[in-house]
Each structure stands twice: as C-alpha cells, then as structure tokens.
Amino acid sequence: MIIKTNKLNLWYGAFQALIDVDLAIERNRITALIGPSGCGKSTLLRVFNRMNDLIEGVRMSGSVNFEGKEILDHEIDLITLRKRIGMVFQRPNPFPLSVFENVVYGLRVHGEKNKQVLAEAAEKSLSAVLLFDELKDKLSMNALGLSLEQQQRLCIARLLSVTPEVLLMDEPCSALDPFATMKIEELMIELKKQYTIVIVTHNMQQAARISDDCGYLLLGELVEFADTKKIFTTPADKRTEDYITGRFG
C-alpha cells in the first residue's frame, strides 16, 4: 500500500466535501474513483498532491499517509511531494512552449541544467508515452499545435520526466474522442507496471475497463471501496448498485 487515508475530512468554508474517507491505494495498480458530479472525487484526488491548497478557505482533518509521511502535515515539502505524486488534468494543459521545453519543464524547475541529461530524459519520457517517433523531428514546435490526444500524452510525458511514483489523473480522457481515449487507456495499463495510478472518471465503463480497484463516492462519502470486479458484479452497498446499474447518476 502506497497511500492510506484515515478519517479524512475536508471543508470548503462551511461546506463539507469529504466525510471520514478511509481508503488504501495499492502500488502498481490502477485505482479508479467514480461517482456523480460534485461527489468529491476530484477533491479527494487533489488531496494527494495538496493542489487544494490553491483554493482559499480549505480545511482538512484526519490523516493521509504516503510511504510513512503525513501529507496533511503543514511542514511537508510540497515541491518534493508534487515531484513524487504527479498529476494529469482534465483538459490537456501543455504550456505554450516548445514540445521539448514542455517535457523537460519539471527537470528544469528542479535544477537540471545538463543538456545531455535533458535530451535523454525527453527521449525517454516521450518514448514511454509513444510520442517520440511521431514528434522526434518536431521537438521545437509549439505544443499548442498538437492534437488533443498528443497534448494529453505530452502532459503525461512531462510528468514521467521527473520520475514520480504516483500518477493522479483527473478525468484524463474527458476532452478526447473515443479512439484517443482507447489509446490513452492502453497507455495507462502499460504505465502501471512502473507507476501507481489513481484516476478520477465519470465514465463507469472506463473504470470497469482499466482499473484494478474502484471506489464509489457519493456526497463526500466513500460508499464502497473494493476490487473493481467485485464493485461491478456484486456490490455490497445498495447505493453502489443503483449507480453502476444506471438507476442513479
């Protein structure tokens, strides 16, 4: 187990967005968080790299343990945390820089200056997301000129270059067409050999296709968390059953 939450509560001002969430994320597996809009699944994901800190008026209680470290600790080094736990966003968000500068961005901000190292890392990361052959002659083009699928792959490559351990993915395919979605899903299954992946998705079929573990959230509560097969065949909770059979949500 790589991340474990214990009685995690989160408030946006007076609104409680997460209620007593207990969850354990296993290494080298894909964990999917599903649930209707506003159930808190993205909020939960953003606890793991403390991106919620950017929102004013956020309070948290309980604990989130990441390899023996307390993520909620105010003293924690956010730079190291975010280097180890990377994030892919809903809309591909490459920077308005060249493809190469996008990939090596993380390394640059962490102080890497050696051109050789940067070039090797760029090739390795782009190869890992199967973009290198496509883009090896276009490394200096502006990343905003790529297709959406390529942009999302590039964002994943950008993460891989800083060698994280966990990849958080916040609805990574929602801006993509079905074919591009399939390709990104194949990539995720490939990536889980080396990384731990947590994905938020509103697409239940996607969760069923790619995840190993699955958690169902409703109104800030983690209703059920289990093996994906079990969630989708014999859910223990009536509310989960209602959601996955399409009676609700």
Site residues, other proteins (CB under 8 A): 49, 51, 54, 78-83, 86-87, 89, 91, 93-97, 105-106, 108-110, 144, 155, 158-159, 162
Using CA atoms, how far residue 175 sits from 45, 131, 134, in Å, is 19, 19, 21
For other proteins, give the closer residue by CB, 92 or 215.
92
* Cβ 154 to other proteins shortest distance, Å: 11
* Cβ 25 to other proteins shortest distance, Å: 18
Displacement of CA 38 from its chain's centroid (Å) = 17
For other proteins, give the closer residue by CB, 107 or 204.
107
For other proteins, give the closer residue by CB, 7 or 110.
110
Q: Report angle CA 197, 134, 147 to the nearest 5 degrees.
A: 70
CA pair distance 240, 218, nearest whole angstrom: 9
* Cβ 203 to other proteins shortest distance, Å: 20
For other proteins, give the closer residue by CB, 129 or 244.
129
* Cβ 101 to other proteins shortest distance, Å: 9
CA pair distance 110, 88, nearest whole angstrom: 19
Which of helix, strand or coil describes residue 127?
helix
CA pair distance 1, 4, nearest whole angstrom: 7
Residue with tokens 């973009």: 131
For other proteins, give the closer residue by CB, 79 or 117.
79
* Cβ 205 to other proteins shortest distance, Å: 26
